[in-house]
Amino acid sequence: HCFKLFNVFHRFSIQARDLGNYSCIFRENAAQVTFILDVPVIKDKRDKPVVSYNGDSVVLECKLKHTPKTWNWYKANNTEKSLINDTANPLNYKIFINGNGTKLTVLNLTEEDSGKYICSAEFDIKSSESYVKLKVLSYTEPLKPFIAIVVEVIVLVTLILLWEKCNKPQHDNSSAGENDGCSEQTSKL
């Protein structure tokens, strides 16, 4: 790489051990320039997980301003990460790389596909990583609150109807020995 600053040229080959902060100090006016040697950072990180359903497909994406040497995708398993190989698993994954960006398509989702996916931009000196969390739900998952509300409404309507039936005034034409399922209350004055 070559830097030109104030008509000063310095050529050097960057390696991983060379990463860090560098300063140029000029004696005449005590001017100082600081520059940092590091790989570009993937900035488009998501705060919330990507949510999808069993059987669907989802596309996860990473972009950089600069083009890395290559891109890799990993799936995190607790403390380890395993490389995703779309050639070995063509029914589950497709990876598309376009210079400064990459897309991972996860096909035929199952709940086991839930987890943390890491995209890694590989440079000569170091890699830059970002991640996205994927949450795969069954189709019944969004129905659970609805079903709970329907059950509550049915229970409440049943209780109201029973209360109405038990507290309905008795007509004289009903037989005295008949029991309508409600206990009779008598009060003595």
Q: Is the pLDDT of residue 187 over 50?
A: no
pLDDT value for 30: 64
Q: Return the CATH number of the domain spanning residue range 50-137.
A: 2.60.40.10
Confirm whether pTM is higher than 0.85.
no
pLDDT tens, 142-159? 778 888 898 999 999 999
Structural tokens at position 124 = 């000569």
Model confidence band, residue 36 (pLDDT cutoffs 50, 70, 90): low
Q: What percent of the chain shows pLDDT beyond 70? A: 70
Instruction: Give me the residue spans of the domains in the chain.
Output: 2-37, 50-137
pLDDT, average across residues 169-187 = 55
Mean pLDDT lowest among 19-33, 46-60, 110-124: 19-33
Inter-residue contact 88 to 115 (CB < 8 Å): no
